[in-house]
Amino acid sequence: MLRAITLDCWGTLLDLGHTNASQRIDYLCAYLPDQMPERVAQAYQESWTLFAQVEKLGFSLSAAAMLSLTLDTLGTTLLPRDHMNVVRYWEEVILCDPPRRLEGALETLKALHEQGFSLALISDTGMTPGRVMRRVLERAGLLEFFAHCTFSNELGVTKRRPQAFTSTLAQLGVSPTEALHVGDSPETDIRGAKAVGMRTALLLQNNPRPEGIPLADLVLQKITELPEALKGL
């Protein structure tokens, strides 16, 4: 019997295309007057590539780590107070320019809640930590529906590691066979959840990845299809 639904955040509930990279680069430039803005932007992008490679190994990084990589690439440093200010800005800038809530996300969470499912969020955070993402989700009207939220920066690993799923299920008090995970990424959402024995639903709405269709138990064109689709499981 299906008792719980876990959901990805980016590309499932919030717009995956949202980025605050330009704001982060501009803010750092203000602390590095001797550096050309173009060079700072290049160093940021090079560091982001390294950042993404580490996350693909299943380990969560942070804004502080990303800033250190960028400064190392530039061959410079910041005063401790300035370093702290930049890290905090990089973590919280999303609050000034929040992502778009995807169409149907709120209505779907309401419907799942009314159907009696326990709901949890499992999110790889990147440079925006869980403490900030909770505020983003609250402002979007989504946070109240989740009995638990798992953020990679708090757990220490991403959805490429089984702990992201098993620790969440433990918090909900359900077994993998009693839960289904919904997400847009074949690698992290579908393969990750299936590796621990969960059923899965691939969402194509915001980030179409048709190569994941053969892997998933359900395929959704829109998230609003989920409540009805669950009746067939």
For residue range 161-218, what is the model confidence (pLDDT) as tens digits?
999 999 999 999 999 999 999 999 999 999 999 999 999 999 999 889 989 899 999 9
Q: What is the pLDDT at residue 136? A: 98
Residues 91 and 117 in one domain: no
Rounded Cα distance between 80 and 62, Å, is 17
Q: How far is residue 225 from each of residues 51, 116, 202, 204, measured CA to CA in Å?
A: 34, 17, 11, 11
pLDDT band with cut points at 50, 70 and 90 for residue 25: very high
Q: What are phi and psi of 115, to 5 degrees?
A: -75, -5
Residues 104 and 90 in one domain: no
**Domain total in the chain:** 2
Residues 140 and 200 in one domain: yes
Q: How far is residue 73 from each of residues 39, 41, 50, 86, 126, measured CA to CA in Å?
A: 10, 11, 11, 16, 19
| Average pLDDT, integer, range 17-37 | 96
DSSP type of residue 56: H
Tell me the pLDDT of the chain averaged across its residues. Answer: 96
CB 176 within 8 A of CB 169: yes
Closest by Cα among 34, 8, 11, 7 to 206:
11
Domain interval for residue 166 = 4-16+100-232
Residues 38 and 115 in one domain: no
pTM: 0.93
Residues 40 and 152 in one domain: no
Spatial neighbors of 185 by CB under 8 A, at least 6 apart, are 8, 11, 159, 207, 209, 212
Residues 91 and 184 in one domain: no
Beta bridge partners of 122: 150
Spatial neighbors of 79 by CB under 8 A, at least 6 apart, are none
Residues 131 and 220 in one domain: yes
